[in-house]
Structure 1
Amino acid sequence: MNKELDKLAPSKQSAAKNLFTAFEILKQEGGQLLGKQVIDKIREKNNLTNWEKEVYEKTGYVRWESILHFYTIDAIKAGFLLKNKGIWYLTEEGEKAINFGPAKMLETASKLYRTWAADKKDNKSLKNKEVEDEPFELEENKTQSQKANLDLLEEQAIAGIKDYIRSKNAYEFQDMVAALLRAMGYHTPFISPKGKDGGLDIIAYNDPLGATTPRLKVQVKHRPDSSVPVDDIRSLTGLLNKDGDIGLFVTSGAFTSESERSARESHRHIKLLDINNFIELWQEFYIKMEDEDKNRLPLHPIYFLGSNE
């Protein structure tokens, strides 16, 4: 394995080594993980050279991180990897590609990417073109570099939002959930005060009197580092005792697979929102919030030049 890596120039050695480790980490974590966490784990696990740890003066990015993000585009186009809202997902094909080893995995991903690019641009000559290894600026592929940088910025943004939510207490997170529901057009006549609440944290109505359906009965758990167990989902199901009741379970962490299955198979309608779903909805409805609610989790939208790919 090391002999194959030694044949590669420095940038591709770094890409092969760190992309392979990223895939191993994702597999160990059940197939998905926040991109920033993948980077942190690679930094702990791999022996990075001084060259890899150098910082680009123009961008302030660390060399090995920039190289890795650049080549994740190859892995995505090859069908090995998916990214969404800062989360990296290892596909079934990606898990199989681990068996290739670092060098062969990178080579395969790059070839599949060139095939995709050639078909998109109707330029068949690109399919078999061998890309010479050059200093990692890769100016000849500005679109891929741009996409990699945008992915990096998005991952940093999502990580910052999650850290902010993590710093809040349970009641502050509960208030965020209520604020989101109001932005979505619901009325929130009941938000649980501190102390025992009988199991419900928020009740939300379509109208001020709750005369029309659906009526949301909401449980909120501020557990950033754990997954909600199935017993909690069953407890919420037991509180849906009126026609038109819908259960909503929101967590600052995740749900176990058994919890997700219980919600899908329940005779009552139950919707689960994990931290990623919550952030996505907060971004979508942020513009509709009152200033007081925006301040519970303030965002600052910035627009970058995108890509048609």
Structure 2
Amino acid sequence: MKAKSKSYVTSAKTMYAAMTILKKNGGSMPIRILMQEVEKNIELSAWEKSILESTGNIRWQSIMHFTSVDYVRAGFLIKKKGNWTITPEGEDALKMGAEKLRDEAGERYKVWYRGKEQAPGEKPIVQPEEENDPAKETMIELETLEERAANGIREYLKSKNPYEFQDLVASLLKAMGYYIQAVAPRGKDGGIDIVAYTDPLGAKTPRIKVQVKHKPDTATGAADVRALLGILKAGDIALFVTSGTYSTDAKHAATSGDKFIRLIDGDEFIQMWQEYYDKMSDEDKNMLPLKRIAFLGNNE
């Protein structure tokens, strides 16, 4: 039997670890956090940790990114705006084990590649070698650019003070079509930072009560989530927005009770700001200005 290459072994174990971590953490995670968790959970050799001279990237991370395209085409994984999500089929496929899962994803990618649309009379498509696949290279390049852009926005958010972040959240809600009844002034707010309505007069329910935490390097815990749930009244729903993340216990606390609370972490806030940016006033846009750049893409 032919010995497995170093790249193959790395791709199999890193992707298996990534998908296992996704399954254990609700199915979806930002790729930057997922990478951190993968590194904590597997043993990496000096070769895997080395820097690629051609790109300046860490070898195992580059291999994992490149291989992940197979898992997407296989239907095991979904990538969207910096988040990776394991599919139900992907969860079931974990039973195969690391190497068999890697092989299955690779075979499915080959089937997808051979089935790409061809012009009449065009020669059959021949799949390029693994290390020289333009389709994968283009996808990874776009993902890398998107992640760099998101990192720039994260650093910009870190520079804001808590009240500026609170105003950003209010501006996002306005762009989403909500009417802002109140934004808490500086000082004690009683646990509610923003109150929003679904109609201009506030006559309709539900009322949206929002707690905002600007702690970009901290995971908000269950105690904060329960405190917000404790002050909700009939006709209220809660929204908790943080510039950081949420602990597993906090996520459980948000879904285990009979009151509705929606958690939005820093990565999702950035995604939502990008999504609703065009609907904002110029004044609100200037609070966290974006510049859009178009890339050639496809409909696949």
Distance change >3 Å, CA 118–CA 16, structure 1 → 2:
same
**8 Å CA contact 1:222, 1:251 repeated in 2:** yes
SS class of match (1:49): helix
Deviations 1:124-172 (A, max 9, x none): xxxxx996756x333xxx3332122222222332333334334433322
Asked if 1:71 is matched to 2:67, the reply is: yes
Partner Cα separation in structure 1 for residue 275 and residue 219 of structure 2: 25
Distance change >3 Å, CA 132–CA 304, structure 1 → 2:
closer
Asked if 1:210 is matched to 2:202, the reply is: yes
The letter for the 1-side match of 2:112 is W
Determine which of 106, 110, 113 is the counterpart of 2:106: 110
Asked if 1:182 is matched to 2:178, the reply is: no
The letter for the 1-side match of 2:16 is F
Q: What is the aligned partner in structure 2 of residue 125 from structure 1?
A: none
Q: What is the aligned partner in structure 2 of residue 301 from structure 1?
A: 292
Deviations 1:179-234 (A, max 9, x none): 112222334342212321122111223556534554322111234431441x5444
Q: Percent identity?
A: 40
Query: So what's the TM-score if we normalise by structure 1?
Result: 0.74
Identify which range, 42-51 or 177-186, moves more after superposition. Answer: 42-51
Identify which range, 65-74 or 90-99, moves more after superposition. Answer: 90-99
**8 Å CA contact 2:76, 2:88 repeated in 1:** yes
Determine which of 84, 91, 102 is the counterpart of 1:88: 84
Identify which range, 105-114 or 270-279, moves more after superposition. Answer: 270-279
- In structure 2, the gaps of 5 or more residues are 119-124
Deviations 1:99-130 (A, max 9, x none): 656554432211122233445659xxxxxx99
Distance change >3 Å, CA 303–CA 61, structure 1 → 2:
farther
**8 Å CA contact 2:77, 2:84 repeated in 1:** yes
The letter for the 1-side match of 2:76 is F
Pairwise CA RMSD: 3.6
SS class of match (1:247): strand
The letter for the 2-side match of 1:197 is D
Structure of greater relative contact order (alpha carbons < 8 Å, 6+ residues apart): 1
SS class of match (1:204): strand
Compute the displacement of 1:83 (Å).
1.7
**8 Å CA contact 1:81, 1:89 repeated in 2:** yes
Distance change >3 Å, CA 50–CA 81, structure 1 → 2:
closer
Q: What is the aligned partner in structure 2 of residue 259 from structure 1?
A: 253
Asked if 1:156 is matched to 2:148, the reply is: yes
Distance change >3 Å, CA 184–CA 41, structure 1 → 2:
closer
The letter for the 2-side match of 1:200 is I
Partner Cα separation in structure 2 for residue 23 and residue 50 of structure 1: 16
Determine which of 1, 9, 20 is the counterpart of 1:27: 20
Partner Cα separation in structure 1 for residue 114 and residue 127 of structure 2: 14
Partner Cα separation in structure 2 for residue 216 and residue 102 of structure 1: 45
Number of aligned pairs? 284
Map 1:38-77 to 2 at 5 A.
Answer: 38-39=34-35, 46-49=44-47, 53-56=51-54, 60=55, 62=57, 64=59, 65-77=61-73
Determine which of 272, 275, 280 is the counterpart of 1:289: 280
SS class of match (2:240): strand
SS class of match (1:53): coil
Q: What is the aligned partner in structure 1 of residue 32 from structure 2?
A: 36
Distance change >3 Å, CA 23–CA 33, structure 1 → 2:
farther
- In structure 1, the gaps of 5 or more residues are 123-128
Partner Cα separation in structure 2 for residue 7 and residue 15 of structure 1: 6
